[in-house]
Structure formats: C-alpha cells, structure tokens
Structure 1
Amino acid sequence: MTLGLFVTGTDTGVGKSLASAALLHALARHHTRVVGMKPVAAGAEPHGGQLANEDAVLLRAASTVAVPPALDNPVLLPDPLSPHIAAARAGVRIHIPAIVQSYRQLAERADAVVVEGAGGFHVPLSDTETGADLAQALDLPVVLVVGLRLGCLSHAALTLDAIRARGLTLAGWVVNRVDPHMLAPEDNIAWLRQHLRAPLLAELPHQPQPDARALASRYQLPAWLTDRT
C-alpha cells in the first residue's frame, strides 16, 4: 500500500516546499519509489524549455520517480497570487476530483507520495472551496510545517483545529527557523510540543542557501513512515 502524506503550513512562505523536498529525500532512504506532488501551483517561470513552478521543480528534484507534469502538478497557474485569483485570471477552474484522480495515478507508480498544499490550510481555491477541502478529499495524514517566527503559535493552533475539524490526523510537524533573529525560539518550540500533541519530525535550521538533500538527515521518521510493507 502506498504511503501518502499531505504537507501544509502555518502560512505561506514558511518553507513547505523545502520541508517537503527534504522529507522526500528522507523517505527515499527507506522506500525505492518516492514522488512529490504540487497539486495547485500559482506562479510559473521558464524551466527546461517550458513553464514550471519552482516548488514543483524542487519536489521533482527530490523524487526518485519521473512522472508527467499533469500528474505531479495538475494545476499550474501563471500568476503568483492566491490560487482562486490566479485561476480566475487564467480562466481555469480548480477541480478537486481531478486532482484526487491524479494523486491516485501517482500512488500507483510510487511507494510514497508527498503532497504539498498551496499556502496555508484554508487557502482559497475558488469562491466555494479551499485547500482544506482538497486535503479532506485526499484523506491523507497531515504534516504541519511551522515557520518559527512571531505569531506562529496562534497560526499553528488554528491550523491544528482546522485539520481536526476536517476529520484528518496530524501525523507530525516540522519546525522551520525562518527568522534567525526570533527571540526565545526554544520557548516557542516547547509550547508547540505541548499543544500540538504530535511527533516533531524535524527541526530545520535557517539556511541562507537551503539544501533539501542535506536537511533530510534532520528528519526522525517514526516506524510507520519507514516500513516498506
């Protein structure tokens, strides 16, 4: 059975893509076929002769399985905006059932799939649906990336409540030290340990030039994530 994880964050810009790519590298030490998925990506630039999103490119570099872009990034929007605005400007409708189908096709080709959501957990995908609806439709254990900066405790608690309200499980969380000048970081991490009540999978240091492969060693994966059966 394929292992699947949905990665969300306390906000945009907290390092979800870096944490997801490092997680893929960590999982690849235990699973032969690992692949990342960026279901909805807003912001495209030329890459290798075609348009691509930088987050999707980072996940592909950390994957051990090459798949068509239509599977690992089924919704690619040109403008770096909230997905619902970017989709409207591009004349595109984000269709959650189609994304779920792409995920299922990925799962058939891989031992482990890491799905990185867009923005925060409730990022709007349309006037009526959000990233939380996508996470609920995929029905995967959730990994929460906490960008360690002022305000992150409230954001983490609110996101945890939203995850549980959807009937989903917080499988673990990742601390990313996005602000190297933050005061009392250890006190904040202690609060998160107490209140999130889930395993701390990794603590990622601040890096001027982030290296996902090097950060893989920061992950301490529980047995259910490393089991090959």
Structure 2
Amino acid sequence: MNSSTRSALRGLFVTGTDTEIGKTRVSAALVKAFAKSGARVAGMKPVAAGMDDIGGERINEDVAALRAASSIALTAAEVGPFQFEAACSPHIAAELEGRDIGRDALLATVHALADRADLLIVEGVGGFRVPFGGGWDSADFARDLGLPVVLVVGVRLGCINHALLTAEAIRARGLKLCGWVANTVDPHLPYVAQNLDALAHGLGAAPCLGLVPRLPDPTPEAIYPYLNVPALHAIFDTIHTQRDTA
C-alpha cells in the first residue's frame, strides 16, 4: 500500500520538550487510560536508541514499557521497529550500525500496527526535532503521520521557553496540539504555580491533560490519577467521531 492509498490514522503523537522528561511514562499512562474504555490500544515507539537485556532479549526500555501497557499482544519489533544499540541521536546510532531510517519503511510499520488497533499512541524520540539522517527528522515524521499531538512538558527551569518553542514548531507544520501534560522533573523548582500559569497561557487552546508529580514508581497506574480524564475522554470521542465520519 503506497502513501496515497493509506487510510487516516486514529490516535495521538506524543512528543516532549526534551529527552528524559518522562515522555514514555506519560505515553504508557495514556495507553492505559484510553484502554479503560474497552478500546484496543497500542503503544508504539517507532525509533528508539539505547538497548538493554530485558527478559532475555535486547530491547529498548521505552519499547518494553509501551509494549507492556498496550491492551493487545504485540512483539517488541511491532512496538519498536527501528531500535538501535547506541544511546545517542538516532541518525548517529543508525550510522554506527550501517542502517537507514527509511521514511516509507517507517510509515509502513506505523500503518501496519494501526490496522490492529482502535487507537495508536505513537511516541516520538527525544524532543520534537531529532535528526533521522537522509535529510529528514522526527518533526517530518510527525507531519507525515498527521496525528494530533500531545506535548509532555518536563517541569523544570526553562520549561516555559522549551514548551512554547515546541508548540510553535508543531503548529508551523500544520499539526494540531490537542493537549499537554506537565510532568515534574525538578520537584524543588520554585514558583511552580506561576510556571504552570504561564504554560497554560502560552499554549492557548490546548488543554492541560495532567499534572504529574515526581513519583517514586511512575507506573501507568500511578500516573493515571493525575491525568485530566474528562479532557482525555473528549479527545477519544473526537478521534472516534472523525473515524466514523471519514
């Protein structure tokens, strides 16, 4: 199936203000939250760099987390079709292994998994603009998918600037920023309420989908109580309305 005949995807693209800000933890919690409706929900991290021995196989820990959260049985290769050993920028990791992150091949893996699920949560890699090599990056990938975007904001010093610049880049590509999640990276950050107010004002119509504190064990179940469930239900209903009228 070529790109001109692929059906529209149903789901969300999750990006972050930076790397190591809890994007995977929030993505896994979103998978679980939407699955509570009875939907078949799959989590996916199409490009992942950095692998460990997990359960006797070489796998990226983010891929493992999304696989575990999914409400349908998936292989590690389905959740993370482009996994690389080195924990570095994907274009470097791919070059080290003599591999390419092919645009058509990557999109095909997403659509193949989408055919098995009612809803797909696709987690990006690092921040919004991460090079894949060959003249394209993760922002191009998000635009190719065309999914509504959820922005995970790592709440720490500098988060307002990072969030507003990321939101600007998302919207400049014609994508809808459908919400954001504030995830506490620095629990000692002063003036948190003022930071959150500035984020809410700067991100405009995009609702806050959750305020997640620093948790000792940030499992999907632990994060769920801090999510804005009514706002998530509204997003879920919108996605299904679009599907039914397509």
| TM-score category (smaller protein) | over 0.9
TM-score, normalized by length of structure 2? Answer: 0.89
* Structure 1 residue 3, shift from structure 2 partner: 2.9
Flag as ranges the 4+ runs of structure 1 deviating above 6 A: none
CA RMSD of aligned residues (A): 1.5
Give deviations 1:73-105, integer Å, cap 9, x for gaps.
110000000111111111110012212111111
**Paired positions, count:** 229
Of residues 101-110 and 15-24 in structure 1, the stretch that sits farther from structure 2 once superposed is 101-110
**Is residue 140 of structure 2 the alignment partner of residue 133 of structure 1?**
yes
**Is residue 216 of structure 2 the alignment partner of residue 189 of structure 1?**
no
Instruction: Give the match's secondary structure for 2:53.
Output: strand
**Residues 52-201 of structure 1 aligned to structure 2 (within 5 Å):** 52-197=59-204, 198-201=206-209
Structure 1: unaligned runs, 5 residues or longer: none
Instruction: Give the match's secondary structure for 1:144.
Output: strand
Among candidates 207, 212, 224, match of residue 235 of structure 2: 224
Of residues 210-219 and 81-90 in structure 1, the stretch that sits farther from structure 2 once superposed is 210-219
Counting aligned pairs with the same residue, the percent is: 48
Structure 2: unaligned runs, 5 residues or longer: 1-7, 242-246
Higher RCO by CA contacts (8 Å cutoff, separation 6 or greater): 1
Instruction: Give the match's secondary structure for 1:120.
Output: coil
TM-score, normalized by length of structure 1? Answer: 0.95
Instruction: Give the match's secondary structure for 1:35.
Output: strand
Tell me if the contact between 2:156 and 2:184 (Cα under 8 Å) persists in the aligned partners.
Answer: yes
Paired residue for 1:210? 218
Distance 1:2 1:116 in 2: 14
Instruction: Give the match's secondary structure for 2:180.
Output: strand
